[in-house]
């Protein structure tokens, strides 16, 4: 194998997407896909076994989300570069990914040539971020929610009652109502369900 090749790990729970990405990247003479996984909690073990130079991680995966997987991978293998590849171009995801140490963030409809170039640039230590997403992220700013408000909205996503949320988070029902009321106000929503939707669309509920 050509020692100048950039070794790539792919993590995506959609097998068709993962296969298409692998096929496109393997067409490039200087790129080779050395591992593929479908779960976030499989990333570190696969990386230890395959020693990739760059890991392309989906944001939303079973087992562990991509940002948490990126954080774990970079703790285990600090020299590996991480590029997040996602269907969901949400500004909050970008901020969390960069905070976790990712070198890049691109959306899945990025043309193959640009994706390959993103891998090369990340491998050389450069930051690679989708321009429109970067602009949106700067305009949006940080999440207005506290960690506990995020926890409560995350627990509310499944439609449970206040009592259910209180039981899940080991809080009193009054405390849960206070956090929900605050989160609804901060998101500009009128209902709990609308607050959850706004927070999800902005990427504020990913991880912890």
**Tens of pLDDT, residue by residue, the chain (208 residues):** 445 899 999 999 999 989 999 999 999 999 999 999 999 999 999 999 999 999 999 988 999 999 999 999 999 999 999 999 887 666 677 778 888 899 988 888 888 888 999 999 999 998 888 766 655 554 455 678 888 998 999 899 888 899 999 999 999 999 999 899 888 888 888 889 988 988 887 778 875 4
Q: Please report the DSSP string for 66-80 in residue order.
A: HHHHHHHHHHH-TTS
Q: Do 6-140 and 147-201 agree at the fold level?
A: no
Residue extents of the structural domains in the chain? 6-140, 147-201
Q: What is the pTM of this model?
A: 0.66
pLDDT of residue 117: 92
Class of domain 6-140: alpha beta
Instruction: Tokens 């509920």: give the residue.
Output: 205
Class of domain 147-201: mainly alpha
What does the alpha-carbon distance between residue 49 and residue 124 come to, in Å, rounded to a whole number? 22
């Amino acid at each position: 194998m050509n020692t100048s090749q950039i070794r790539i790990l792919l993590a995506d729970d959609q097998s068709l997407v993962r296969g298409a990405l692998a096929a496109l990247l393997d067409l490039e003479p200087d790129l080779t896909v050395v591992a593929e996984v479908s779960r976030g909690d499989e990333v570190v073990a696969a990386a230890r076994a395959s020693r990739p130079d760059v890991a392309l991680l989906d944001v939303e995966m079973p087992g562990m989300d991509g940002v948490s997987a990126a954080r774990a991978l970079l703790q285990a293998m600090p020299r590996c570069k991480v590029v997040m590849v996602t269907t969901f171009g949400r500004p909050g995801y970008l901020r969390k990914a960069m905070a976790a140490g990712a070198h890049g963030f691109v959306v899945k409809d990025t043309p193959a040539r640009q994706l390959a170039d993103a891998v090369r640039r990340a491998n050389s230590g450069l930051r690679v971020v989708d321009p429109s997403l970067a602009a949106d992220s700067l305009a949006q700013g940080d999440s207005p929610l506290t960690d506990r408000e995020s926890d409560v909205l995350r627990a509310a996503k499944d439609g449970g009652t206040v009592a259910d949320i209180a039981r899940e988070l080991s809080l009193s029902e009054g405390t849960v109502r206070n956090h929900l009321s605050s989160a609804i106000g901060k998101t500009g929503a009128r209902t709990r369900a609308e607050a959850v939707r706004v927070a999800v669309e902005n990427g504020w509920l990913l991880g912890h």
